[in-house]
């Protein structure tokens, strides 16, 4: 009996070492589906959810809540729908961490990425920081994913 289980263990372990065990899969991407007017201090609600593996992203609030601790990456693109620039900011538990700006003179896309260490349950979202208020559907999006849980 012991020999059987032992052999099973050895085969299982060899498989692990040969093929690798992957990172836990956590990641989302969401896109704005309607032209939107930004209020102060509200999360931007990217409502067209392309991917939401492990359901960390809430499409009603616009918040991502970390399903587990780890090293994460977040990316956001912003584009105004007029010739007024808009600055948004990626927020971690209420603290602004990365500003991203659309141009002041023409509707163009600004993008930014940031690497963050999150505790389980930490929140990350995007809000308006300043300048204009009208952002364009399809060209505003927000993504995040776990890089490693080994922190």
Q: Kindly list the residues in this chain that would bind its own copies in the complex (CB under 8 A).
A: 2-3, 5-6, 9-10, 12-13, 16-17, 19-29, 31, 50-51, 53, 70-71, 73, 75, 77, 79, 97-117, 138-139, 141, 143-151
Whichever of 99 and 133 has its CB closer to its own copies, that residue is: 99
How far apart (Å, rounded) are the C-alpha atoms in residues 66 and 92? Answer: 11
- Min. distance of Cβ 14 from its own copies in angstroms? 8
DSSP, res 48: E
DSSP SS3 for 4: helix
- Min. distance of Cβ 78 from its own copies in angstroms? 9
- The DSSP code sequence of 77-134 is EEEBSSSS-EEEEEEETTEEEEEEE--SSS--EEEEEEEEEE-TT-EEEEEEEEE--E
Whichever of 119 and 138 has its CB closer to its own copies, that residue is: 138
Whichever of 112 and 134 has its CB closer to its own copies, that residue is: 112
């Amino acid at each position: 009996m012991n020999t059987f289980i032992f052999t099973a263990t050895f085969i299982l372990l060899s498989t692990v070492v040969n093929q690798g065990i992957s990172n836990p899969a956590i990641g989302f991407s969401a896109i704005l589906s309607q032209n939107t007017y930004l209020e102060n201090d509200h999360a931007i609600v990217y409502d067209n959810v392309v991917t939401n593996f492990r359901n960390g992203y809430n499409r009603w609030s616009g918040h991502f809540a970390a399903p587990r601790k780890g090293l994460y990456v977040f990316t956001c693109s912003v584009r105004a729908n007029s010739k007024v620039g808009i600055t948004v900011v990626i927020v971690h538990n209420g603290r602004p961490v990365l500003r991203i700006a659309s141009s002041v003179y023409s509707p163009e896309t600004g993008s930014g990425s940031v690497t963050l260490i999150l505790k389980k349950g930490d929140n990350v979202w995007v809000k308006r920081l300043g300048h204009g208020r009208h952002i364009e559907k399809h060209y505003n999006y927000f993504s995040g994913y776990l890089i490693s849980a080994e922190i």
